[in-house]
Chains A and B, each alone.
Chain A
Amino acid sequence: MGGLVTVFRRELAGYFATPVAYVFIVIFLVMAGALTFTLGNFFARGQADLQPFFTFVPWLFLFLVPALTMRLWAEERRLGTIELLLTLPLAQWEAVVGKFLAAWAFCAIALALTFPLVITVNVLGNPDNGVILTGYLGCLMVAGAFLAVGAAISALTKNQVIAFVLAVAACFFLTAAGSPVVTEFLSQRVPQLADIARGISITERLGGFTRGVISARDVVFFASFMAFFLFANTIAIDQRKAD
């Protein structure tokens, strides 16, 4: 466990030692705010909640999270530091989980910095703050799922661009699978596929959280999803350490 904490600390400090953290956070906050107030019709809806914000978060994470994960392993390979990291007396899963948790904590910091939105709705009306809290929890789950997929993809290549593009594609697939366009199309043509698409959809799961419902099904989905990809990540590192 000591190894996990050490890797976690180094990684999290690493985000703030480079401009990565500041660029990521600023772009995320600007985009989240802009989308909520323009496309999301925050004011015109006349409702004191953060529904418009939560609907855009997966779409923002879709691009921003792969930008975080693309360097996780690909850069270690390029710099050769993977050789250093994996010859320290750490179990491989500690390195994998430490990196993942650091990236997740970083996403949590970015999400927490959207707190002015919460203040705004509380000033303008009487929102259900419990629902807002579960909504944030849902967003964190989405970030974790995207991070787990992206990190596993990053472990397979030393090219960061490839890691980024593949991770965006994977996250897009997970996000779009539950969008009305896809599910309506599928339920008319191939109803069986429509159920599967809804089953793997991240947006569908997030929907429950943003309505204030934390169902065991959704929590188990996210937890097993992340566990699976972290496991795949460990295997990928183990099999392809050197190249």
Chain B
Amino acid sequence: MTALIEIERLTKRFGGFTAVDDVTFSVAKGEVLGFLGPNGAGKSTTMRMLAGFMTPTSGTARICGEDVVDRPVAAKRHLGFLPEGAPTYPEMTVTGFLQFCGRARGFHGSALNDRVAHAMALTQLEGVRLQPVETLSKGFKRRVGLAAALLHDPAVLVLDEPTDGLDPNQKHEVRNLIRAMAPEKAIVISTHILEEVAAVCTRAVVIARGRVVADATPAELAAKGPTMDAVFRALTLPEVEAA
């Protein structure tokens, strides 16, 4: 099985602060990798480097074999990325925004309309298609971001907190969607909701203070302690690690 995402000794320093420290892992087709860690652990920074938004201080990442530093445009073609907070242009309508993303990815005419319609159907956005994004609720905005990431049916999906701000029903739908797409793609989702990892992920990478502290299946991770919460605390709290 070939790895669609390869992260190799990725490091990011901001001045004297090391946000991401020598992170290495790869994700194969069919895998859903849960990227776990406390706030500020370096999850978003790692994902931003993987998406080609931030330039790594050292190390590199490859998406479908394309290096994100050397061949950023080629790498981005294979990538669907949902940034943290699912930013969108507030004055655009849902359709307008998705069409913009589709055009930027080289779709035109009826192919573009098909893609937009399909992405809206997957994320249940048809009811708000002509509304400006700024008038939508948080859950809808998140789904607009998700639709933009899914639009071109990418081989690699990187989703930064895809279910944040969704109600339980919407969370359930997004998880079903991720599970349905999983066999054909390599997916990375970041989260700090532990139940989500057990629900959708085939593998979990735990990161704390910029370093990978665990890389296992959710079941293996859960077996390390009485509860998933306790395992997470043991892995990510500094005094426990020192002891």
Contacts and interface: CB of A to CB of B under 8 A. Distances in A.
A23 interface: no
A81 B89 contact: yes
Contacts of A7: 104
Interface in A229-243: 238, 241-242
A243 B84 CA distance: 14
7 contacts: A7-B104, A10-B92, A83-B84, A86-B52, A89-B104, A91-B73, A242-B54
B83 A17 contact: no
B48 interface: yes
Given A17-B91, A81-B88, A88-B101, A241 B53 contact: yes
Interface in A1-49: 2-3, 6-7, 9-10, 13-14, 17-18
A8 B52 CA distance: 22
Contacts of A90: 73, 104
A241 B52 CA distance: 10
Interface string B128-140: 0000100000000
B51 interface: yes
- Range class of the A interface residue count: 20 to 34
Contacts, number: 73
Interface of B: 48, 51-55, 73-74, 76-77, 79, 81, 83-85, 87-92, 96, 100-101, 103-106, 132, 145, 148
B89 A83 contact: no
Contacts of A17: 91-92, 132
Given A81-B88, A241-B53, A241-B54, 14 more contacts: A9-B100, A10-B92, A10-B100, A14-B92, A17-B91, A17-B92, A79-B90, A87-B76, A87-B79, A87-B83, A88-B76, A89-B73, A89-B104, A242-B54
A84 interface: yes
Given A89-B77, A90-B73, A14 B89 contact: yes
A101 to B, nearest CB: 16
B92 A2 contact: no
A80 interface: yes
A81 B87 contact: yes
Contacts of B91: 14, 17-18
B87 A79 contact: yes
Contacts of B101: 88
A80 B53 contact: no
Interface string A61-100: 0000000000000000001110110111111000000000
B51 A88 contact: no
Nearest to B76: A89
A207 B74 CA distance: 47
A6 B100 contact: yes
Query: Which one of B89, B96, B101 has the highest number of Cβ atoms from chain A below 10 Å of its Cβ?
Result: B89
A88 B75 CA distance: 10
Contacts of A2: 103-104, 106
A13 B100 CA distance: 11
Contacts of B92: 10, 14, 17
A117 to B, nearest CB: 32
Nearest to A86: B53
Contacts of A89: 73-74, 76-77, 104-106
A241 B104 CA distance: 19
A6 B97 CA distance: 11
Contacts of A238: 55
B80 to A, nearest CB: 9
Contact of B89 (A3, A79, A87): A79
A6 B102 CA distance: 9
